[in-house]
Chain A
Amino acid sequence: MSILVDKNTRVVVQGITGKEGTFHTEQMLGYGTAVVAGVTPGKGGQSIEGVPVFNSLHEAVEKESANTSCLFVPPPFAADAIIEGISANLAVVVCITEGIPTLDMVKVAGFLDGKESVLIGPNCPGIISPGKTKVGIMPGHIHTPGPVGVISRSGTLTYEVVDQLTRVGLGQSTCLGIGGDPIVGTTFIDHLRRFRNDPDTEGVVIIGEIGGSTEEEAAKFIQAEFDKPVIAFIAGQTAPPGKRMGHAGAIISGGEGKAQDKIKALESAGITVVHNLGKLGETVRQVMK
């Protein structure tokens, strides 16, 4: 099994006619993802890589029974597109877009509250259940099916981790990026709950970074309610306070969000924290033995 996305996932790409949208539609199709529709307002009736394009998401959902969206819409219009996805009752909305204004995300979070849809991102690489489907921009070939769940706030760092896991012979059930922005649709805890209920996930790797306190909250949750092995890595021990380290959400402010505090919280909750990134794959192998 896996979480959130699998062989039954039918993807609609929002912003399919843009450069990124088209490129990754091709990549997803190549991986075997069922990309069934695309949306670009004003370009309905066209087709991209054989995928029909619609003017509105609701039309795409109605005609092609899409249940998941992957969103490449530029930042000024992205919040509207996310809300469109939630309003169409999609099971999962994956927002790849980086650079959405924070106050737009305040609006999205307010609308999302109490709805069925799960928002992954924004500013994330997406979600992949290896061997089944990929909804996002990660390089598919480094993944392999297996027992490890991966939840991350970062993109490339996740690829690094997945590559190491694959090399030590550990495949992945589902890997997902929750996003590098200050306000994102889901937290570590949301997905830890899902991995807890997934019989095929035997252990979870969480990859955090400076900013906010979502790792500290995850630590408390894991200690109290999660009984599968968890291995963590936190990036940014050398990051200076008050500076945004690439991701809009990666900032130590007002004394909150330090890597050291997160590591301490995780370790005192009994979670294995890997300090040398180069040894992560090997450590996971030992812990999960």
Chain B
Amino acid sequence: MKLHEFQAKDLLAKSGIPTPQGQLVKDSDQASKVAQTIPGPPWVVKAQVHTGGRGKAGGIKVVHDPDEMIAATKTMLKKSLVTKQTGPEGVMVRQVLIETGVDIEREFYLSMVVDRATAMPTMIFSQAGGMEIEEVADQTPELILKEHIDPTTGWMPYQARNLIYHIDPIPSPAAVKLLTSIMAEIYKIFMTLDCSLLEINPLVATREGNILALDAKIQIDDNALFRQKDLHELDDPEEKDPLELMAEKYQLSYIRLNGNIGAMVNGAGLAMATMDLIKMAGAEPANFLDVGGGASEEMITKGFEIILKDKRVEAILINIFGGILRCDVLARGVLAAAKNTDIKVPLIVRLEGTNVDEGRRILKNSDLKFLVAKNLTDAADLVTKQVKDEGK
């Protein structure tokens, strides 16, 4: 689960990590009031969306008087923001964060993730803050420092020293003290809230000698949400694709993509492989949909309905290798969904595995029009043919 910047900063502030004073605004009329309550000028207006690359896309603006603040708020709110991470349609900006401007002396990068290779929570620090960490990793990898954290000891003070005394030049003793305590705090937050990512970029030293989290990104491990009930209210369904939201409700794993061939598959690996197969056949996958190893008839029905709701879909490929999920259950689910909808696009079905004969028989004896693929290669060929026919 992704959090908004303002939510992440609230969590940091609660743990005593300083953040700039700010106010969330959902309507540009509120902006004039903010000019009176938040110290400035300057102020910074920041679009609150679940995507990166906001700065370069016009989603972050420094403003110097109230009129400019209102204008910037108006330009962002209720408009689509296209960043290099969003795709061409962009994301709708529903709220902006207006913060007091900060006089920056130095910018650092500080984050935590779980490192897969060592299976340890890891703190990452760089004195090259303010730019994307991938860029730093690419250009000056020696400026990225990592401390793996042993689960039996937790974060140790010497690890903070390892990171901080590498900064060139070494910050003032007061700043060292502040950085040390911020590192200890973000470790605590990361572990207590089951974060999968906690990133402060930049973490800045101001000319007044403060250390502030100027931007913050937090993601919570979806698998741990059952024990993070307090965080549920921070979920923002409006940031999600409506079809993805619908899938979430039925506990289906669905991701909307930009192509024209819908796919319904059981198992995440096979679903990805099927997307790849569609691409190789000369088409583009419209979605990732894993109905799961043990999907029920109802889940199949819902999954199929979601694909049918996607207007860009020109053909549908159902690829099921029955293990726990039996092919007859799949067939009944597809028929139940087909009953409620007029299917206008060609349907290609490839069934294999448990109860395959029964599944094929059920489909064959129905009114449903579909093409049978004998195997994966055949399925790809049928998709190719479909794409070509469409192009005629």
Contact = CB atoms under 8 A, between A and B. Distances in A.
B276 A156 contact: no
Which one of A104, A159, A233, A259 has the greatest number of beta carbons of chain B within 10 Å?
A159
Interface of A: 20, 75-76, 99-107, 109-110, 125, 137-139, 142, 152-160, 163, 180, 182-183, 207, 209-214, 233, 235-240, 242-250, 254-255, 259, 275-279
Interface string B338-382: 000000000000001110000000000000000000011111100
A123 to B, nearest CB: 9
B272 to A, nearest CB: 4
Given A102-B221, A154-B268, A183-B116, 9 more contacts: A99-B223, A101-B224, A139-B324, A156-B265, A182-B116, A211-B116, A250-B269, A254-B134, A278-B277
Contacts of B285: 238
B152 interface: yes
Contacts of B231: none
B255 A278 contact: no
B377 A139 contact: no
B323 interface: yes
Given A163-B353, A246-B290, A75 B223 contact: yes
24 contacts: A99-B223, A101-B221, A102-B223, A107-B151, A109-B119, A109-B120, A137-B324, A139-B322, A154-B267, A155-B267, A159-B267, A160-B270, A163-B321, A183-B116, A209-B268, A235-B273, A238-B275, A242-B85, A245-B268, A246-B269, A275-B280, A276-B380, A277-B277, A278-B375
B288 A101 contact: no
Contacts of B262: none
Contact of B273 (A157, A212, A244): A157
Nearest to A27: B324
B131 interface: no
Interface residues of B, number: 59
B196 interface: yes
Interface in B94-135: 114, 116-117, 119-121, 133-134
Contacts of A250: 268-269, 272
A207 B196 contact: no
A213 B117 contact: yes
B156 interface: no
B303 to A, nearest CB: 13
Interface of B: 85, 114, 116-117, 119-121, 133-134, 137, 150-152, 191, 194, 196, 221-224, 226-227, 253, 255, 257, 265-273, 275-280, 284-285, 288, 290, 293-294, 321-324, 352-354, 375-380
Contacts of A154: 267-270
B326 to A, nearest CB: 10
Contacts of A238: 257, 272, 275-276, 278-279, 284-285
Nearest to A182: B116
B389 to A, nearest CB: 21
A110 B119 contact: yes
A246 B244 CA distance: 12
B271 A246 contact: yes
Secondary structure type dominating chain B contacts: mixed
A245 B272 contact: yes
B290 A239 contact: no
Contacts of B271: 245-246
Contact of A156 (B120, B226, B323, B380): B323
A239 B223 contact: no
Given A159-B323, A245-B272, A276-B277, A101 B116 contact: no
A45 B324 CA distance: 29
A212 B119 CA distance: 11
A142 B276 contact: no
Closest 8 CB pairs of A and B: A154-B269, A156-B267, A246-B268, A157-B269, A278-B377, A278-B376, A109-B119, A101-B224
A239 B272 contact: yes
B228 to A, nearest CB: 9
A156 B151 contact: no
Contacts of A212: 116-117
Nearest to B138: A255
Given A139-B353, A158-B269, A238-B275, A76 B375 contact: no
B269 A277 contact: no
B353 A106 contact: no
Contact of A106 (B117, B120, B279, B376): B120
Contacts of B137: 254-255
Contacts of B270: 154, 156-157, 160, 235
A56 B47 CA distance: 53
B266 A156 contact: yes
Contact of B223 (A100, A142, A279): A100
B133 A254 contact: yes
Contact of B114 (A110, A153, A155, A182): A182
Contact of A277 (B196, B266, B354, B376): B376
A235 B276 contact: yes
Contact of B257 (A125, A183, A240): A240
Contacts of A248: 222-223
Contacts of A152: 269
A106 B151 contact: yes
A275 B226 CA distance: 39
Contacts of A159: 267, 321, 323, 353
Contacts of A239: 272, 275, 288
Given A101-B194, A246-B271, A276-B377, A156 B223 contact: no
Contacts of B85: 242
A102 B224 contact: yes
Contacts of A125: 293, 323
Contacts of A110: 119-120, 150-152
B210 to A, nearest CB: 29
B321 A156 contact: yes
Given A235-B273, A275-B280, A278-B377, A101 B268 contact: no
B276 A103 contact: no
Contacts of A156: 265-267, 269-270, 293, 321, 323
B375 A103 contact: no
